Amino acid sequence: MPNIVLIGYRGTGKTAVGKQLAEVLNRKLIEMDRLISEKAGMSIPEIIEKYGWTRFREIESEVAEMVSKLRNCVIDTGGGVILRSENVENLKKRGIIILLKADIPTISNRIQDDDQRPSLTCNKSFVEEVGEVLKQRTMMYEDAAEFCIDTSKLTLEETVNRIIRYLKTKNVLTKP
């Protein structure tokens, strides 16, 4: 069975949805950010501080290639995985890519206190940063995804159930 690959900006629900979806479908959860940190031997903010975004993206691409070889997993990607086309190509080889999105106030509310998310822009307010990066990435997210869900007004369970319904229409689930 194909992997279920969750993409989307920070705070759209990838981690929470991934955990719940993996549990409901009895699949292994693969958290790419955790694998990146393990591979580098340091946290993501430490990678960025010590080596910069370019090196982080290189490690992310190595991890994307590695996890794309797995089967029957739920893969929780980082928000920028779509910035390199080879990541999307690799993840699509054995996966169905599902985009989770949310409006700016929802994203801001969900991630404003998270110190494990380094700034993506310089000299911008938090809300300005979210808006600017979403503007840059939205088309890439949509082009990569096979299915999209706006999580802004949905509960975790509603989001997971919509994904499951979609997967059933694709005949890729044997259960539930």
Block mean pLDDT (10 aa), the chain, length 176? 94 96 97 96 94 95 97 95 97 97 89 59 68 90 97 96 95 67
The number of CA neighbours under 13 Å toward the Cβ of 42 is 12
Amino acid type, 146: E
CA distance 138 to 77: 16
pTM > 0.85 = yes
Q: For residue 104, what are the contacts with CB-CB under 8 A and spacing of at least 6? A: 127, 130, 131, 134
Superfamily of domain 3-169: P-loop containing nucleotide triphosphate hydrolases (3.40.50.300)
- Residue 39's Cβ-count burial label (10 Å; 0-12, 13-18, 19+) is middle
Distance CA 34, CA 104 (A): 25
Residue 43: predicted pLDDT? 94
pLDDT tens column, 115-150: 555 555 555 666 777 888 889 999 999 999 999 999
Residue ranges covered by each domain of the chain? 3-169
What residue type is 18 in one-letter code? G
